[in-house]
Chain A
């Protein structure tokens, strides 16, 4: 059990650029979640997958955001045409069935 791994840990980009983050869940965990956390607030749910199926998306996930989990293992979260308001910590979590979620250390995105 190597834990949930997220890459990169930090990303600095200019406004308008596209960015992609990767999350590798704990192996055999069938559920994978993405959350966004801004300074001074708790994590906010973005979306989650069960295996490769994306089962729920938050209204926070505008059409500039897309998440995939093509083979039911790792997942990517892409943000197109980044805006200042996208600056946040993006957290990934995974779980096995109905067990509690395990969180990664997050990717911190800074928009210049």
Chain B
């Protein structure tokens, strides 16, 4: 069975600082991996996805993520955080690009001025 672990429940960073959100997955085959962002009371917005090819993927809003098969990780990064990035971030794994997704429990990002 596929599963996702996001070890950090809550992260606080200062505006302008770099950010890394951790994601570890468990999946038997080659996974489709996703990062989503959710603002309070809203649905999920896709930031980026990985299936194959270059292990460093670029997404929207200046985010990137790196797939490391040996570590079963897909960590999300941003070089300089903006106050508007404060939200909840979810990592997800699926068996196809549009298959049912299994989500982690999320990481809440707080941005200090």
Contacts and interface: CB of A to CB of B under 8 A. Distances in A.
B98 A105 contact: no
B57 to A, nearest CB: 13
Given A41-B105, A42-B90, A43-B90, A100 B97 contact: yes
A105 B105 contact: no
Interface stretch (A12-20, A67-75, A91-99): A91-99
B43 A45 contact: no
A42 B41 contact: no
Contacts of B49: 100
Contacts of A48: 100
Interface size classification for chain B: 20 to 34
A41 B44 contact: no
Contacts of B96: 98
A33 interface: yes
B43 A101 contact: no
B98 A98 contact: yes
B26 interface: no
Interface of A: 4, 31, 33, 40-45, 48, 56, 91, 93, 95, 97-106, 108
